[in-house]
């Protein structure tokens, strides 16, 4: 039996979500969640894709409001917390300590 890839491990942990690979030629776009669909920018490095996937699972688990206004304090707080919680989930799943920028 083959071991699951890191992406497959995340997909298996969140079977209620559908993960889609898209190509967005923008270094600032990592991922977006719409309902149960998570769109991951396949042009990002592998570690960035994994972190983006987990970041979006945090939004799925905890955010119930519209976060489309990037100037909203609520959005900024939610994004910051989702980034930190996503990194915690990454460390928990993969045991790889990454710095705050790594």
| Residue 28's CATH number | 3.30.2010
Which residue would you say has higher pLDDT here, 72 or 33?
33
Residue 49 counted as domain residue? yes
Residue 22 domain-assigned (yes or no) = yes
Helix (H, G, I), strand (E, B) or coil at 2: coil
Over residues 2-38, the pLDDT tens digits come to 899 999 999 999 999 999 999 999 999 999 999 999 9
pLDDT over 90 for what percent of the chain? 71
Q: For residue 32, give Cα distances in angstroms to 10, 41, 53, 92.
A: 16, 9, 9, 22
Q: Does 36 reside within a domain? A: yes
In the structure, what pLDDT confidence band is assigned to residue 101 with cuts at 50, 70 and 90?
Answer: very low
**Average pLDDT along the chain:** 88
Bridge partners, 34 (sequence order): 37
102 has pLDDT over 60 = no
Other C-beta atoms within 10 Å of 10: how many?
24
Tell me which residue range forms the domain holding 51.
6-94
The verdict on residue 77 lying in a domain is yes
Domains held by the chain: number = 1
Query: What does each C-alpha distance from 77 to 16, 22, 34, 63, 69 come to in angstroms?
Result: 25, 26, 19, 11, 12
């Amino acid at each position: 039996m083959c071991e699951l890839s890191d992406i497959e491990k995340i997909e298996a942990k969140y079977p209620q979500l559908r993960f889609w690979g898209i190509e967005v030629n923008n270094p600032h776009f990592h991922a977006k969640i719409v309902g149960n669909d998570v769109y991951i920018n396949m042009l990002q490095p592998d570690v960035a894709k994994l972190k983006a996937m987990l970041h979006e699972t945090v939004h799925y688990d905890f955010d119930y409001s519209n976060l489309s206004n990037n100037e909203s304090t609520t959005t900024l707080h939610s994004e910051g917390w989702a980034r930190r919680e996503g990194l915690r989930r990454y460390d928990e799943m993969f045991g790889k300590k990454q710095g705050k920028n790594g």
